[in-house]
Amino acid sequence: MVLTKHSGGTKLSIGVFRLLFTLFFIQVFVQQANCQDLPRISIETVLSKPVYAKGDTVLVALKISIPDRHHFYDNPKGPGIGKPMEFAAKSDDAIVWNRLLKQKSKKFTPEVGGWVNSFDGDVWFFLQGVVADSAVETSYKNNVNITGVMCDKSCYPVDETVEFTVTVGTTSEKTVFNNDNTILQALKISTKTQALSPYVDLQNTTMALTGPGLDIGGLNLGELKRDVQSETYDWKFSPQNAGTDINIFLAILLAFIAGIILNAMPCVLPVLGIKILSFAQGADMDRKKTVLRSLVFSAGVVSVFMLLALLASFASFSWGQQFQDPKALIAIIALIVVFALGLFDVYMLNVSGSVASSNIQKRDGIAGDFFKGVFATVLATPCSGPFLGAVLAWSLLQPAYAVFIVYTTIGLGMSFPYILLSSIPKLSKYLPKPGGWMNDFKKIMGFLLIGFAVYLMIGLPSDMIVPTVLFCVILAFGVVVFTRIAPYGSNVKTKIIALLSALIIITGALYTSFMVVYPSFSNSAAANIEKENEVWVDFEPELFVNAQKEGRNVILDFTANWCMNCQYNYIMVLTKKDVVALIKEKNVLALKVDVTSPDAVKDSLLRSLGSQSIPFLAIFSGSTPDKPVVMRDVLTKGSVLRELNKMEKL
């Protein structure tokens, strides 16, 4: 009986084992079948010429067809989940591949995770390289490996390699792209650049996947589990200033002068115009009260500079960095619009600075002067006066106490004219007498403020401009409703009702502008075509690092959309014909380093060059790549040409 039971148990165990073994192979077969049915991109290649000569630029058009309803993630991809797109090219040392040209991607918001930059449909990419001087007259096989992730409701890894042949001859033939309007149009809008990744042997590369079609809460995800470390760069430079060396005493002097000159910057003029009205109407006021108001205004100015010094010393915060955050920039724009409405008499704005008899009115007047000082300083940051860039760069390398001294001195310099006007009675006779002109002047200042708000919108992503305009319009309506319900002199209860009504309108404005309107503009933003100058290309760390390794001349232009002086330098100096011609003649790689939005690599590069403010230009000679010549603030064409002429043609 024991043996019989044992035998039966053995047979049962064998039967169960066979069943499990069969189920295992069925599962493996189904998984393999599913893997074979995964959607894939298809790739077509078109070479710009049938035959190339030594030194020719090779351009390979890559037409990537993405399956319907799928999105191929760009690089950079944005905050969403997934692997960014990478291109790697390989040749037999005959072709030196240097970069990828691509068009602007679209924003896609998947059901899980944040939005991503992605491509869909048929997309053209252009692989750019140069025929090496060591190439011989023959045909060379080249490979391009494309990796990334492609998502619909499910996400699938992309890993495709395409092979093509480049023929090198004694003379090059004409380009065939001129005969294909589709390729020409695609090339025209391919204004973005991407560095190529190192080519690796895919047979020896392993990737762990969660598995295609892994179901998570009813949503299929196939997220790559590959660990990708963010690249860091150890910049080591000894920048050579094209100017005078600075010590603590010269820094204080320049900081004070720079503060005074900030008052003449166009960013600050609207607010300072209001302060001029205060001086004009207060010319016959008690001198002590006038001095007190100037000191309070100055305290507002200095307090902001003290805060900037604190952030610069202990939080690595740079001058103008608040304009990098779109949310902060929108808040500043909205504040400017509200302030401008007061100048148009939509609500009562006490621009005269007069001191009424009641204590409440006194407190309001003093608080208003302090606020104007703060506001003027915040608006000053997009405009860098002469000396300011050099002083800030010097302070970056100094102890915290020196940073506080320099920033405080800038604030004192900016405040100095107002303290001087209020404390010396003889100067008051040079101020205009109160009159009807003050209302006209106030309206002009209002228009200037509105114009400055429009200018600041340049610093926003293109798909956020229209939603921001809509928000400002509804915000203005909310202010009008508030003043209509609770005009000047209303009781507290009426003001509370008016405030609640205005808050409801403003909340609706935020929701409508950025939750309803913004997504539609965001998805269509890729339709905008960006035209770059023929020599200036977008900064990529790999481009810069490789150029330095090759001993090539390089010029970096640190810029931002909100920086007026940066735009002046680019339009009036860096893109002038003779400057562009010399850049070409010296074989200079000209890179635009856009810091409109925060970027850790770009910020670290700027700091390694001894600066924390823009405009900033760094010129690297291929013969001494670790000792760039740096130039700050407003440039002159002569100074740039002089430094470029010193370079050897490499």
Q: How many other C-beta atoms can be found within 10 angstroms of the C-beta atom of residue 515?
A: 10
Most confident of 194-198, 429-433, 471-475: 471-475
Minimal CA–CA distance to 533: which of 562, 564, 555? 555
Burial environment of residue 201 by CB neighbours within 10 A (0 to 12, 13 to 18, 19 or more): exposed
Residue-wise pLDDT for 30-61, tens only, equals 444 444 456 789 999 999 899 999 888 899 99
Better pLDDT: 235 or 625: 625
Decide: 317 and 311 in contact? Cβ < 8 Å: yes
Q: Which amino acid is at 434?
A: P
Residue-wise pLDDT for 548-578, tens only, equals 888 889 999 998 876 777 878 888 889 888 8
Burial environment of residue 94 by CB neighbours within 10 A (0 to 12, 13 to 18, 19 or more): buried
- Structure tokens belonging to residue 615: 């405009």
Say whether 307 sits in a helix, a strand or coil: helix
Domains defined for the chain, CATH in brackets: 42-221 (2.60.40.1250), 243-328+346-447 (no CATH), 536-645 (3.40.30.10)
Q: How far apart are CA 79 and CA 73, in angstroms?
A: 11
Q: Considering the chain, what percentage of its residues have pLDDT values greater than 90?
A: 13
Phi, psi of 388 (to 5 degrees): -65, -45
Whole-model pTM above 0.85?
A: no
Decide: 141 and 163 in contact? Cβ < 8 Å: yes
- Helix pair 269-281, 437-456: axis angle to 10 deg: 160
Most confident of 41-50, 451-460, 482-491, 620-629: 41-50
Minimal CA–CA distance to 144: which of 125, 171, 123, 130? 125
Q: Considering the chain, what percentage of its residues have pLDDT values greater than 70?
A: 69
Residue 6 scores a pLDDT above 60: no
Across the range 441-445, mean pLDDT stands at 77
Listing DSSP states for 22-53 in one string gives HHHHHHHHHHHHHHHT----EEEEEES-SSB-
Residue-wise pLDDT for 126-169, tens only, equals 998 889 888 888 998 899 999 888 887 777 788 899 999 999 99
Phi, psi of 161 (to 5 degrees): -125, 135
